[in-house]
Structure 1
Amino acid sequence: MTILLTLLLSICIFALIIWALMHMRTPRFRMERKDFLKGLEDVITGQADDNEWRVLTGYPMRHDPDLEQLRLECLKIEEAEYTGGSPYLFTRAGLEQLREVRRKLLAAEKESD
């Protein structure tokens, strides 16, 4: 009787675990405009490292087409002006181009308000 009860309880716990795993959602990373702006400002001021830049530009922004365009623009700037140095990751020309991206983002923010 004890063996049967233990077996039944084990099966129920196992089924519960399987059910819970089947209904869990995959975590999603979603960068908002304020986060993108903060990351951009950190890069411009020399406070960001290579890893932070990768997080900033490494994920598509399907939820915000305008932000996706700015991300793609940043990637083009990276191709031409990225140095990976410390503290600034970009050349002076690259930093100026990133400032322009920042201006566009701030203008878009004002339009949406």
Structure 2
Amino acid sequence: MEIFITLLLSFAAFALIIWAFMHMRTPRFRMSREQFVKGLEDVIAGQADDNEWRVLTSYPMRHDPELERLRQECLDIEKSEYTGASPYLFTEAGIERLRVMRRQLLTDNTDNHQ
């Protein structure tokens, strides 16, 4: 009888753990437009390092197609203008392209709030 109770309790514990894993959601990182603008501003001002740039551009933005388009544009800028030097991660031409992107994003945000 003790073996049966032990097996039953073991099975119940195992089933509970499996159930918990099945109902856990993986954490999702969702960058807001304000966070994206702040990240761009930090890069433009020379206050961001390579890790901050990676956070800004590494996560797909499925929740916001416009941000995803801008993230892809950032990756295109990175291909031709990225230096990785400190404090400015980009050439002057790259920084100017990021400024244009920032202005566009701020204009879009202003239009959406009116």
> What is the correspondence of 1:34-113 to structure 2 with a 5 Å cutoff?
34-113=34-113
The CA distance in 2 between the partners of 1:7 and 1:49, in whole Å, is 55
Of stretches 70-79 and 35-44 in structure 1, the one that deviates more from structure 2 is: 70-79
1:9-53, Cα deviation, whole Å (9 max, x unpaired): 222111111111112112222111111111111111111111111
Q: In the comparison of the two structures, how many residue pairs are matched?
A: 113
The CA distance in 2 between the partners of 1:56 and 1:105, in whole Å, is 14
Q: Which runs of 5+ in 2 are unaligned?
A: none
| Identity among equivalent pairs (%) | 71
The CA distance in 2 between the partners of 1:19 and 1:60, in whole Å, is 29
TM-score normalised according to structure 1 size: 0.91
> What is the correspondence of 1:10-25 to structure 2 with a 5 Å cutoff?
10-25=10-25
Q: Which runs of 4+ in 1 moved over 6 A?
A: none
Name the amino acid aligned to 2:37: L
Coordinate RMSD, CA, aligned: 1.3
> Which SS does the other structure have where 1:77 is aligned?
helix
The CA distance in 2 between the partners of 1:75 and 1:94, in whole Å, is 11
The CA distance in 1 between the partners of 2:99 and 2:5, in whole Å, is 68
TM-score normalised according to structure 2 size: 0.90
